Amino acid sequence: MDKQEQTARTDSYFCLKDYDAYGFDLDHTLAKYKLVNVFNLSYDSISNYLVNEHGYDARIQHDLHKYKDFIAKGLVLDIERGNILKLGAQGEILMAKHGTKPISSDKLIDIYGGDLMFEHSKTILKTVKNSSKDYRFFENYFDIPGLVAMARIVDILDEKGGSDSKKHSYLETWSDIMKALMNCYTYEAFRMDTGGFFPGIKKNPENYVEKCSDDVKTWLKELKGNNKSVFLVTSSYIDFASLLLETIIGKDWKSYFDISVFRARKPAFFTDGHPFLRIDDNNIEKEPVQDLKKDGLYSQGNHKELETFIANITNKKHPKVVYFGDNICADCFPSKNYADWATVLLLEEMDAEGYLCSDGTVPGHENDGEPSKKRSKFEHSSLVTPEEIEYLLTEEWGPFLYHDVKDEKSINNGSRIMNTFWGSVIAKYSCITVPSLEYIAGVPLSHKFQKFTTEEGNTKGFHPGIPSSLLP
């Protein structure tokens, strides 16, 4: 094998043992939420605020369950038009609704033109950034209840008529929903017991998050052995985050990390060079610190100084870092793009829809020696409850990674080609994508996982197997 060939081969595999440091996001990564409870808590907080503070129609204060099939990860809101879009890999509109109501294909062409291109798709493809006055995408579970509220209000505004004022109304509505999201999630709300969300979790955290299994805890300790480093980088503020950590790991949670960073403001943590701040005993942010200490707890910060810290404790000039997260635009894209870290994406939808195990029995999937993980093909994981599956999967929008476009070229090597926007981003910005930490913690550190390749729509990096929505 010549050198080039050898590099290509090692480049196509991901092995945890090859890394010096392992970083973790908290929410929906180390902390697996009880999704149904947390969705409902957020939706109640958001809808109560909109009705009580901004006088919106009280019909939006319904049980979220009623719209569970409308909930889908990755949808994009065209704010000005009140339309909700499912985008394809090139940014084209695969499907759209106005509020919760379908839009006919003729109407869709009228609005977006024959190529069905959303005018902001290029920006979304390029930046994977959510800060815009024109659109908003809903790629994390905290935001999604805001989309349901928006869609319901669009329905109600339309019902009430007055098409001339609608344009203004949609923009205004979205601005009020942003205020509702802020009211729900602003970090001060934890301390001040406001907004409904944090007070609900504070009262009974076990009702909202799962405990980490002993397998995951043992695995974290194993990762930290042999001069390697394990760290936490979460955008949650320390008061809320430490309550979660105590609930999921236990009182000794600090011993699992060489350093813990809170309120990291990802993705800005990877782009803006903000200093690390000291946190005092009352969890208040204090002055900037220059020198990061082992076992320290800090707020804000940036990836460059963190890497210096990691270099010092691992004794490696250029430590190789891998980061685990659930959020494509805040965890995977920036850590890979700006910090050149390897990334592992956790995708709960994989557990919800099921996936194939590579046990050699399925055509097109030879056994690549991957440890088989206790479940047969298409079986759902026990980590996701049947009620959660109802919220995670949607008939209305179809799968997150695939949209049926009746194209014969859409099948390759026994797998459908991922043709949604988020599918293409996952293949580009994660090395591998797995359903949970639980899965990866059960695989030996020396295991070589096949990575996603640069080939468009490829599904090679999904482990332990291809999600069932991608199987023909």
Residues forming the active site: 25, 27
Binding-site member from 28, 81, 224, 303 for Mg ion (CB under 5 A) = 28
**Strand partners for 87:** 93
Site for Mg ion in 433-472 (CB under 5 A): none
Contact between 348 and Mg ion (CB under 5 A)? no
- Provide, rounded to whole angstroms, the least separation between the CB of residue 214 and Mg ion: 22
Q: Interface with Mg ion by CB under 5 A: which range of 159-167, 288-296, 313-321, 325-333?
A: 325-333
CB closer to Mg ion out of 30 and 94: 30
CB closer to Mg ion out of 153 and 248: 248
- Provide, rounded to whole angstroms, the least separation between the CB of residue 31 and Mg ion: 8
E strands, 223-367, where? 229-233, 259-262, 276-279, 285-289, 296-300, 321-325, 342-346
CA distance 25 to 126: 24
Residue of 236, 242, 248 whose CA lies nearest to 206: 248
DSSP 8-class letter at 360: S
CA distance 81 to 67: 21
Q: Interface with Mg ion by CB under 5 A: which range of 2-10, 92-100, 288-296, 321-329?
A: 321-329
Q: Which residue has the tokens 């290509």?
A: 8
Sign of the alpha-carbon dihedral angle for 79, 84, 88, 89 = positive
CB closer to Mg ion out of 327 and 433: 327
Q: Which residue has the tokens 């294909």?
A: 105
Binding-site member from 27, 44, 78, 353 for Mg ion (CB under 5 A) = 27
**Which one-letter amino acid corresponds to residue 366?**
E
- Provide, rounded to whole angstroms, the least separation between the CB of residue 264 and Mg ion: 11
Number of residues that bind Mg ion (CB under 5 A): 5
- To the nearest 10°, report the CA torsion of 97, 56, 141, 184: 160
Write down the H helix ranges in 364-410.
386-392
Contact between 25 and Mg ion (CB under 5 A)? yes
Provide φ and ψ at 35, rounded to 5°: -60, -40
Binding-site member from 78, 139, 155, 326 for Mg ion (CB under 5 A) = 326
Helix or strand run (H / E) with residue 222: helix 214-224
- Provide, rounded to whole angstroms, the least separation between the CB of residue 442 and Mg ion: 21
- Provide, rounded to whole angstroms, the least separation between the CB of residue 470 and Mg ion: 24
CB closer to Mg ion out of 28 and 152: 28
Contact between 239 and Mg ion (CB under 5 A)? no
Q: Interface with Mg ion by CB under 5 A: which range of 27-35, 105-113, 211-219, 297-305?
A: 27-35
**Which one-letter amino acid corresponds to residue 367?**
N
CA distance 194 to 198: 7
CB closer to Mg ion out of 79 and 322: 322
- Interacting residues with Mg ion (CB under 5 A): 25, 27-28, 326-327
